[in-house]
Amino acid sequence: MTTSQSSSPIPCGKVYLVGAGPGDPGLITLRGKYLLEHAEVVVYDYLANPKLLGYVPKDAKLIYAGKKGGGLHAFTQQGINQLLIDHAKEGSMVVRLKGGDPFIFGRGAEEIEELVREGIDFEVVPGVTSATAAATYAGIPITHREYTASVAFVTGHEDPTKKSSNISWEKLATGAGTIVVYMGIKTLPSITKKLIEYGRSPDTPVAVVRWASTPQQFSVEGTLATICEVVQKADIKPPALVIVGDVVKLRKTIDWFERRPLFGQRIVVTRTREQASDLVVKLEENGAECLEYSTIHIEPVEDYTILDQALGEIDSYSWILFTSLNAVTYFFKRLHEKGYDSRKLAATKIAVVGRATGEELLKYGVRADLIPEQFTGKGLAEALLQTEVKGNRILLPRALKATEILPEALTDAGAMVTIAPTYQNIPPQGRREELRDQLEAGSVDMITFTSSSTVSNFLSMLGAADGQELQRLLNNVRIAAIGPITAETVRDNGLSVDIQPERYTIDDMVQAIVCYAKDNPSQRTKG
Ligand code: SAH
């Protein structure tokens, strides 16, 4: 989409105070997203969803400004102000990203006042504040003609029983129909006590919503008289909002977010390709929280000597063979880097292992001369052997490590095969600890596998010492496999399959998971 903004250059040496919204990254404004996409420096808070940093250019500087409402502050407020000033003075386009709306209990104005004092240019972009999001995502309209026509946002940061409190609880108790309290978990006992003391009925409904609009959203309900006990029992910690008023009654009709079929399910999605996963999008649409583990990471090889030499004398080759999508991608990447294009391949025939690889090749304007009937390396070898390969040069651009079946079969038949390492598979071991921690903590409901290689790569990434440890780690974790071959690989590894769709498509797999979850709610032992 083009906006009028995209043509106007973003001025440098300016600070944009941007509201990140309450938690769901989809709730940032278009203006906020646009600014993130053009940022040179981003100073972000604990409450701003880190997924939003995905919009920021790769070379931008990211600075975590720390946690609010308890815990360690990475920077003091003065330190944050200074960061903004220093970077703006260096001429950078700085985005200060704050949770919710920057001007609602966000100390945004303090940062701006400091910028004004220093003569630094600024702009403020509002955000969806957590009060409206928490109410909406908990099924509570904060105003309603039949219940209330007024709403008050207050902070519970200060204990209302303290003399220093600058909120007039006496007037507030009956003066506003709906009262939404930010930062009110610690002080909830004194807040409820004061409201009752100043005339609000102890039966007034109250809801408390934690991590609103995120997959971790958790909400409870009670009355002014009971909510403290409910919160204590549920062990609710910040960040959470307290919503007081008769509108809370509407929750039983309007609650929609937490009623989605996969809400509360934490699902590990394993992938072998780099592309964004259709499966993740569809599971999230149904309310699941997805933990994505890409079990293989593809990178260029360090040494392109063989491929470069082959490209230089490509006309002397009869065939180029592509045995994977990645081979096509990285081959053309290198071809382009060397200053050539597809015309360079005009005199050479091209064979691909299967239809998908052929389609990838077409993206570069090249149609495969040969696609075997059986989409495997062996199938490709057999198809090629039907042609005259003896004495011919054949180029095989492929992964650094691969099986030798194809080149051996061709060499045996008298072909001169050049194996050119073109890309490499790197198991991303970096996240092994994180994955193990999640499983040890019992905080995963399900793992999905969409191919046999996702199963084997996942298990090697997990690195369980033996079958017993594997069983222990995956105890209580359900396994979904897309089809019979994937399921067989799961079982070959001593595990059982709980969910398997009849048809082997992502849509059917999601449907099968939804059906399963309806009958089997989350059995997770820990959040
Ligand atoms: N500027 C922010 C508020 C910052 S004060 C805004 O407009 O939302 C921090 C408090 O906001 C937290 O203690 C909590 O009460 C509330 N809060 C922020 N995000 C929240 C979320 N996702 N769910 C529930 N409460 C949230």
Question: Of all atoms in ligand 1, which is nearest to the CA of residue 129?
Answer: 7
CA dihedral (48, 49, 52, 54) positive or negative: positive
Q: Residue 180 CA to chain centroid, in angstroms?
A: 30
User: What distance in angstroms lies between residue 186's CA and the mean position of ligand 1's atoms?
Assistant: 14
CA-angle at 505, arms to 503 and 510, nearest 5°? 100
Does ligand 1 lie within 6 Å of residue 217's CB atom? Answer: no
pLDDT on residue 261: 94
Question: Of all atoms in ligand 1, which is nearest to the CA of residue 47?
Answer: 19
CA-angle at 437, arms to 432 and 441, nearest 5°? 155
Give the C-alpha distances (Å, rounded to integers) separating 243 from 26, 39, 68, 73, 181: 23, 36, 21, 27, 7
Residue 521 host element (H or E): none
- CB-CB contact of 96 with 17 (8 Å): yes
For 245, phi then psi, to 5°, come to 145, 165
Does ligand 1 lie within 6 Å of residue 517's CB atom? Answer: no
User: What distance in angstroms lies between residue 238's CA and the mean position of ligand 1's atoms?
Assistant: 9
Residue 339 host element (H or E): none
Does ligand 1 lie within 6 Å of residue 126's CB atom? Answer: no
CA–CA separation, 342 vs 336, rounded Å? 9
CA–CA separation, 357 vs 367, rounded Å? 11
Report DSSP letters for 203-248, one per residue: T-EEEEEESTTSTT-EEEEEETTTHHHHHHHHT--SSEEEEESGGG
**Hey, how many other C-beta atoms are within 10 angstroms of the C-beta on 295?**
23
Does ligand 1 lie within 6 Å of residue 47's CB atom? Answer: yes
pLDDT on residue 370: 96
User: What distance in angstroms lies between residue 37's CA and the mean position of ligand 1's atoms?
Assistant: 24
Give the C-alpha distances (Å, rounded to integers) separating 519 from 288, 303, 363, 443, 516: 15, 53, 44, 19, 5
Report DSSP letters for 280-319, one per residue: HHHHHHTTPEEEEEES-EEEE-S--HHHHHHHHTGGG-SE
pLDDT on residue 428: 66
SS3 string, 104-161, reads: CCCCHHHHHHHHHHCCCEEEEECCCCHHHHHHHHCCCCCCECCCECCEEEEECCCCCC
Q: What is the mean pLDDT of each run of 10 residues along the chain (527 residues)?
A: 48 92 96 98 93 94 75 76 94 96 93 94 98 97 94 90 83 96 96 96 98 95 98 96 98 95 93 70 94 83 97 97 93 97 96 91 97 85 91 95 88 96 79 88 93 84 88 94 90 95 89 93 61
Q: Which residues are catalytic?
A: 45, 67, 183
Residue with CA closest to ligand 1 atom 9:
183
For 218, phi then psi, to 5°, come to -140, 130
Residue with CA closest to ligand 1 atom 11:
182
Residue with CA closest to ligand 1 atom 18:
130
pLDDT on residue 70: 45
CA-angle at 194, arms to 188 and 197, nearest 5°? 140
> For residue 378, is it left (φ>0), alpha (ψ between -120 and 50) or beta?
alpha
User: What distance in angstroms lies between residue 49's CA and the mean position of ligand 1's atoms?
Assistant: 12
Report DSSP letters for 83-110, one per residue: HHHHHHHTT-EEEEEESB-TTSSS-HHH
**3-state DSSP assignment of residue 7:** helix
Report DSSP letters for 241-277, one per residue: EEEESGGGGGHHHH--STTSTTTT-EEEEEESSSSPP
pLDDT on residue 6: 44
pLDDT on residue 527: 55
Does ligand 1 lie within 6 Å of residue 25's CB atom? Answer: no
User: What distance in angstroms lies between residue 261's CA and the mean position of ligand 1's atoms?
Assistant: 26
Residue type for 404, please? E
Question: Of all atoms in ligand 1, which is nearest to the CA of residue 130?
Answer: 8
CA–CA separation, 16 vs 357, rounded Å? 45
Pocket test for ligand 1, best of 130, 155, 191 (most atoms within 8 A of CB): 130
**Hey, how many other C-beta atoms are within 10 angstroms of the C-beta on 428?**
13
Number of Cα atoms under 13 Å in the Cβ half of residue 202 = 6
User: What distance in angstroms lies between residue 525's CA and the mean position of ligand 1's atoms?
Assistant: 27
Question: Of all atoms in ligand 1, which is nearest to the CA of residue 23?
Answer: 22
Question: Of all atoms in ligand 1, which is nearest to the CA of residue 22?
Answer: 22
Does ligand 1 lie within 6 Å of residue 421's CB atom? Answer: no
Does ligand 1 lie within 6 Å of residue 218's CB atom? Answer: no
User: What distance in angstroms lies between residue 26's CA and the mean position of ligand 1's atoms?
Assistant: 16
- 355 token code pair: 């239809």
Does ligand 1 lie within 6 Å of residue 208's CB atom? Answer: no
pLDDT on residue 5: 44
- 174 token code pair: 């009956």
pLDDT on residue 3: 42
Does ligand 1 lie within 6 Å of residue 182's CB atom? Answer: yes
User: What distance in angstroms lies between residue 60's CA and the mean position of ligand 1's atoms?
Assistant: 27
User: What distance in angstroms lies between residue 274's CA and the mean position of ligand 1's atoms?
Assistant: 34
Pocket test for ligand 1, best of 28, 182, 183, 243 (most atoms within 8 A of CB): 182
Q: Delineate the domains of the chain, giving CATH numbers in brackets.
A: 14-128 (3.40.1010.10), 132-259 (3.30.950.10), 266-296+428-519 (3.40.50.10090), 300-425 (3.40.50.10090)
Does ligand 1 lie within 6 Å of residue 153's CB atom? Answer: no
- CB-CB contact of 470 with 437 (8 Å): no
Q: Is 390 exposed, middle or buried (0-12, 13-18, 19+ CB in 10 A)?
A: exposed
